[in-house]
A = this chain, B = another copy of it.
Amino acid sequence: MKDFTLDNLTAEAVAAYTTNASRPRMAHILGSLIRHLHAFAKEVELTEQEWFEGIQFLTATGKMCDTKRQEFILLSDILGLSMVVDAINHAKGGRGTESTVLGPFYVEGAPEVDSGVNIIKRDIGSETVLVTGTVTDADGTPLAGAMLDVWQTSTNQLYDVQDPAAPKWNLRAKIKAHDNGEFSFVSEKPVSYPVPTDGPVGRLLEAGGRHAFRPAHLHFIVTAPNHESVTTHIFVEGDPYLDSDAVFATKADLVAAFESCDDEKLAAEYGLKVPFTRVRYDFVLLSAATA
């Protein structure tokens, strides 16, 4: 009969999941997962108390998840795993806009609106920003039918889903670019903010001696027909957390200057007062065939 020991447990467990697995891909993933999981426990000589703390940590992480909070995505983010998966799947070779983490606060189904919209649904005296740019292919050809799904925190450091006082879809929208690829919208200038620290992830950051801040950013999922969509951020140049993002998601090419603008005509067009803050970012999507 089987006598499981430290010497044979890993091979036996891998064999158990790979011999009869219905899908070869599943067997490959489970085999690799088991090998790394066992190797981790052996490498650190995990004690039973530490193992149990891990069980309790994972259980609490699951309990923290609901329709507005995904603590396991946040955990993946702060361990750098989300960015590893992003990098594996979106090697752009410098040809398209770089991607970065989705984060745990994306909500599907934001209302579709025309370019030029103001997405601030509550006035809390925030600094506004005019965001403009284009969506093109790698050759600079405008992509008709491009859509920018945008979301961000408010000046109070909270996403609408974290803030009971925020109107629904505050600082969220799906913005339809013009057929010439140009888009614009008015929003609040994003601020740096801490990821939620009232759950297991907060305790882990504290144990690791890490701050919880993310540098200020706007989230985007940019799509266009027949092109690979990109999930990314625009970061605010000069933010003090650009060098120590809690979720390791910064990329130099995604940082943009938020500059003061005194263009009276533009101000009038968007209902702003001079001087106002402006940022420009041009998104480049790879064709679905080459991505």
Contacts and interface: CB of A to CB of B under 8 A. Distances in A.
A38 interface: yes
A169 to B, nearest CB: 23
Interface stretch (A51-59, A114-122, A141-149, A219-227): A51-59
Q: Is the interface of A mostly helix, strand, loop or mixed?
A: helix
Contacts of A50: 29
A48 interface: yes
B84 A6 contact: yes
A5 B91 CA distance: 10
Contact of A2 (B3, B21, B250): B250
A27 to B, nearest CB: 7
Interface stretch (A68-76, A160-168, A264-272, A282-290): A68-76
A22 to B, nearest CB: 6
A207 B245 CA distance: 37
B255 A46 contact: no
Given A47-B89, A73-B55, A13 B251 contact: no
A224 to B, nearest CB: 19
A274 interface: no
Contact count band on A: 35 or more
Contact of A210 (B17, B42, B88): B17
Given A62-B63, A243-B2, A37 B79 contact: yes
A32 B48 contact: no
A242 interface: yes
Nearest to A82: B51
A124 interface: no
A36 interface: yes
What are the nearest 7 A-B pairs in CB distance?
Answer: A62-B62, A20-B209, A13-B80, A17-B208, A6-B87, A36-B36, A36-B40
19 contacts: A1-B250, A1-B252, A2-B243, A3-B250, A4-B83, A5-B87, A9-B248, A12-B248, A16-B208, A18-B208, A29-B50, A34-B80, A38-B80, A38-B84, A41-B85, A42-B88, A51-B82, A55-B76, A58-B61
